[in-house]
Structure 1
Amino acid sequence: MTALDCNKCWAECLDVAVEVALKAGKLVQVAAKQEKNVSTKSTPTDLVTEADQQVEDLIISTLRDRFPSHKFIGEEASAAGGKCLLTDCPTWIIDPIDGTCNFVHSFPMVAVSIGFAVNNELEFGVIYHCFDGTLYTARKGHGAFCNGIRIHVSKEKDVSKALILTEIGAKRDQDTLNIFSGNIMKFLSAPAHGIRIIGSSTLALCLIATGSAEAYYQYGLHCWDIAAAAVIIREAGGVVMDTSGGPLDLMSRRVVAAGTNEMANYIVHQLQPINYERDDIDQGVQK
């Protein structure tokens, strides 16, 4: 396939991703008004509903019909023992309902996230905010958009003027909570303008892309939480990296994102790490 052919093909894939994200979002909206059958995965705070599986089935079946040779990484399939293996093959990375706890409580920060990678490189991302209808899209080399309008990150470099976002993660043992609260205290003592936790990694990362916040960090998220958002942030002019300061490792379950390198590097140097097993371990995802 020539470069021109690839360009046309990935553009078509992006168009289909937008269509299926909107369709999935409508399913989430309907499910949000119904009684929810809630169960847990690895911990009492790691929630899953029937809607998670239904939405993922809708997304994957639709995409597989259009692109039968492509590979898929989905949150619920991975939770059931499927492997998270990113190869050179075109691969869709899907979070059917990001913010499941929010969804259960009708807290309006819930999103459908669809990322796409080729040759181990993220090509495009689509994130749909199910409750307010906001659509974020980006393709490598083509910019990032919110409802069709170009978006840009904040260029603030001074942490004392920053709003920082994070998430708690599923692990709630005392040692993990001590590290988590200790990291927050470092930024509050900087002092940053504030810390926010909204319960949806993908939407928090989109807020970095729009310049509504300056930085984001998290330990314990998964590849489907970051794949689409990483493209959106980069195309909005921001940076996405590993918490060590190195390049982003999609399977590492840790990330720092910011509008500027200076802000990202400041965050990196303040963090005490929290250890989670990788997404691509042999036995599949372990929560």
Structure 2
Amino acid sequence: MEDPWQKAYDFAVAVARKAGAEIRKAGESEIRVMTKSSTVDLVTKTDERVEKIIISSLKEEFGEDAHCFIGEESVAKGEPCVLSDKPTWIIDPVDGTTNFKTKKNFSFELLKDDLFKLSFVEFGVVYSCLEDKMYKARKGKGAFCDDEPIQVSDMKDINKSIIISEHGTDRSPEKVTKIFSTMQKILCIPVHGLRGSGTAATNMCLVATGAVEAFFEIGIHCWDIAAGVIIVKEAGGILLDVDGGPFDLMSRRMVSANNELIAKRIIKEIEIFPVGRDDAPAEK
């Protein structure tokens, strides 16, 4: 029987490489940056151009109206962020724009594509284009870095674990206080280390490869983590809400970990603060 998703999966990898070439080219020239929602949430013309490349390539391959799209730049311009019954691609053209803009940590500039079918992830692709590493996974078929299988760490001792997180872009004093209080409490468990790469996609791939034991964040968006969801799951990891409940892609809150023991130990220390859902109705 023909695999209905293999063509889309293979094409996603090809489009990721195509867009990655565009990102590398942009990195070789002067990058003009404009402010998006705050001074720490930066967007370049590269984001917009790469998202257009991805969407136009997918429409050309599969048909103008065959699939739906949720793109970071499209949503920023007012497009809805809703998962429908149609196959839906969730796209973050350049994850880690601040790293990209400052020409630091080039391994963290990522492009990612995800296809959802009736809200169930079928596959995910994260391309670390400047180090030419392709992370990918298909539902029920495992996770890979390039063509090598990857697997989460088997560590069960929280004191020997490396945890990874990010500060997000909200700089309201009450939220910043809770973020740093959470980090302090996790450090004092104690854990072996607490780090951050600058991008949620990289952080989730680090969990999937076993380089770290867990990643948590409040305030992320669905396009930041959608590809990583299937990659972590297929590598043997788990995902939970920061309150210990089931993971919800649109909630903007997540703990991804190598196992439930590590995840739930971290969750005990997380100070939760409210964030609006990605699929919340737009304010009029």
TM-score if structure 2 supplies the norm length? Answer: 0.96
Structure 1 gaps, min length 5: none
SS class of match (1:240): strand
Indicate yes or no: 2:48 matched with 1:53.
yes
Match of 1:18 in 2: 13
RMSD: 1.0
**Superposition deviation, residue 44 in structure 1:** 1.2
**Superposition deviation, residue 208 in structure 1:** 0.1
**Superposition deviation, residue 131 in structure 1:** 1.4
**Superposition deviation, residue 166 in structure 1:** 0.4
Match of 1:230 in 2: 229
**Superposition deviation, residue 118 in structure 1:** 0.3
Indicate yes or no: 2:111 matched with 1:78.
no
User: Given the alignment, which residue of 20, 44, 48 partners 2:39?
Assistant: 44
CA distance in 2, matches of 1:202, 1:275: 22
Match of 1:212 in 2: 211
Match of 2:61 in 1: 66
**Superposition deviation, residue 17 in structure 1:** 0.1
CA distance in 2, matches of 1:244, 1:79: 28
CA distance in 1, matches of 2:129, 2:218: 25
Greater RCO between the two (CA within 8 Å, min separation 6)? 1
CA distance in 2, matches of 1:43, 1:260: 35
Match of 2:182 in 1: 183
**Superposition deviation, residue 246 in structure 1:** 1.6
Match of 1:29 in 2: 24
Equivalent residue letter for 1:67: F
Equivalent residue letter for 1:247: P
Indicate yes or no: 2:100 matched with 1:98.
no
Summarize deviations over 1:120-177 as a string: whole Å, max 9, x none: 1011000000210010010000000001000000121221010000011010121111
Indicate yes or no: 2:86 matched with 1:89.
yes
Which ranges of 4 or more aligned residues in structure 1 deviate by more than 2 Å? none
CA distance in 2, matches of 1:114, 1:203: 14
CA distance in 2, matches of 1:236, 1:164: 17
SS class of match (2:37): coil
Summarize deviations over 1:22-70 as a string: whole Å, max 9, x none: 1111100010111112111111111101000000000010011112211
Identity of aligned residues (%): 43
CA distance in 2, matches of 1:275, 1:98: 23
Structure 2 gaps, min length 5: none
Residues 107-146 of structure 1: pairs in structure 2 closer than 5 A: 107=104, 108=106, 109-146=108-145
